[in-house]
């Protein structure tokens, strides 16, 4: 099957008419010769026969049978692959977010089923450290509180959760990529986490004046500026969007899951210039990710 580049719902149902087309898409992507093709997970052999009914591959050497969904995030999806694909499509292509309650009602599945699968999608949206910002970057310490009220400044109130953001901008002052990280406090150790995962030592970083950023100056090119609006215009713009997105979609988010929602928001912002590939790239990530189980996602109490 061709790489799916559609955005709208008509194209989606035109391509993925049933669970079978979704299975076919997964099989094509998973065993694409460009990605290394089929290699038996049991014996390493690369010859196979295809079982037409479920598109599983039967290893010609040891006869281990592997389905297109095995060892992917689609493993044991019991509510149908077409519905699962629809969730991936909605979360990647729709500009507005959807809550698990809305998704459950739309697909006639239970809310916990929708909630769990949506978290699997989010975990695949988490950015990989391979694409570190190289250019100009704004880093700011933020806070949010009750009703997901995000503020583009620090707060030491125990009622407010702490976040650090990094926003890369190009020469035309447009946003290239953004990331958010939940942190325990505003110490250099915690603030340094976003540098480590998302910022190259070559990048030119602007932070607000704060002692927590000082120790990081030995490893990164940091310029401290006053936290006024002009110096962090793009950060303020993104935080405003984040706030609107949360408020229009979710009534409440457990702090334990907040990082997943940040990853979803950033994934979409960071791919807004290459929208035609967004669905396919997310499917590829879900194929290469290790399957997540309910016990990995739920909050241990």
Size of the site for Zn ion (CB under 5 A): 8
Residue 241: Cβ-neighbour burial (10 angstroms; 0-12, 13-18, 19+): middle
User: What is the closest distance, in whole angstroms, from the C-beta atom of residue 62 to Zn ion in the complex?
Assistant: 3
User: What is the closest distance, in whole angstroms, from the C-beta atom of residue 54 to Zn ion in the complex?
Assistant: 18
Of 1 and 62, which CB lies nearer to Zn ion in the complex structure? 62
Q: Which of residues 63-82 bind Zn ion (CB under 5 A)?
A: 64
Rounded Cα–Cα distance for residues 232 and 227 (Å): 7
Rounded Cα–Cα distance for residues 249 and 11 (Å): 25
User: What is the closest distance, in whole angstroms, from the C-beta atom of residue 45 to Zn ion in the complex?
Assistant: 5
Cα–Cα distance list, 51 to 22, 27, 279 (Å) = 16, 12, 27
List 9, 50, 62, 105, residue binding Zn ion (CB under 5 A): 62
User: What is the closest distance, in whole angstroms, from the C-beta atom of residue 39 to Zn ion in the complex?
Assistant: 9
Of 49 and 248, which CB lies nearer to Zn ion in the complex structure? 49
Spell out the residues 6+ positions from residue 254 whose beta carbon is closer than 8 angstroms to its own.
299
Looking up tokens 């010609």 gives: 60
User: What is the closest distance, in whole angstroms, from the C-beta atom of residue 64 to Zn ion in the complex?
Assistant: 5
**Residue 246: other Cβ atoms inside 10 A:** 22
Of 1 and 43, which CB lies nearer to Zn ion in the complex structure? 43
Of 42 and 153, which CB lies nearer to Zn ion in the complex structure? 42
Of 40 and 87, which CB lies nearer to Zn ion in the complex structure? 40
Binding mask 22-61 for Zn ion (x = CB under 5 A): ------------------x-xx-x-------------x-x
Spell out the residues 6+ positions from residue 20 whose beta carbon is closer than 8 angstroms to its own.
none
Rounded Cα–Cα distance for residues 66 and 229 (Å): 55
Q: Which residues bind Zn ion (CB under 5 A)?
A: 40, 42-43, 45, 59, 61-62, 64
């Amino acid at each position: 099957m061709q790489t799916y580049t559609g955005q709208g719902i008509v194209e989606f149902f035109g391509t993925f008419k049933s669970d079978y087309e979704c299975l076919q898409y997964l099989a094509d992507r998973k065993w694409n010769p460009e990605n290394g093709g089929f290699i038996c997970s049991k014996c390493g052999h690369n010859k196979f026969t295809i079982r037409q009914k479920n598109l599983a591959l039967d290893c010609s050497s040891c006869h281990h049978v592997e389905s297109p969904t095995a060892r992917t995030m689609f493993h044991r999806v019991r509510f149908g692959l077409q519905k699962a694909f629809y969730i991936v499509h909605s979360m990647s292509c729709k500009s507005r977010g959807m809550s698990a309650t809305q998704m459950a009602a739309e697909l006639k599945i239970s809310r916990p089923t929708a909630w769990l699968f949506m978290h699997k999608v989010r975990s695949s949206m988490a950015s990989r450290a391979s694409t570190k910002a190289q250019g100009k970057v704004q880093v700011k310490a933020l806070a949010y509180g009750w009703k997901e009220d995000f503020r583009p400044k620090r707060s030491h109130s125990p009622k407010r959760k702490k976040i650090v953001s990094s926003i890369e901008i190009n020469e035309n002052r447009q946003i290239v990529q953004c990331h958010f990280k939940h942190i325990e406090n505003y110490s250099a150790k915690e603030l340094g986490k976003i540098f480590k995962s998302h910022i190259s030592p070559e990048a030119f970083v602007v932070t607000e004046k704060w002692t927590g950023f000082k120790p990081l100056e030995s490893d990164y090119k940091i310029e401290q500026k006053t936290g006024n609006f002009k110096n962090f215009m793009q950060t303020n713009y993104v935080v405003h969007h984040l706030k609107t997105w949360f408020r229009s979609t979710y009534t409440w988010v457990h702090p334990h899951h907040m990082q997943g929602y940040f990853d979803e928001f950033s994934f979409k912002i960071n791919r807004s210039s290459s929208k035609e590939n967004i669905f396919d790239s997310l499917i590829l990530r879900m194929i290469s990710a290790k399957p997540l189980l309910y016990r990995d996602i739920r909050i241990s109490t």
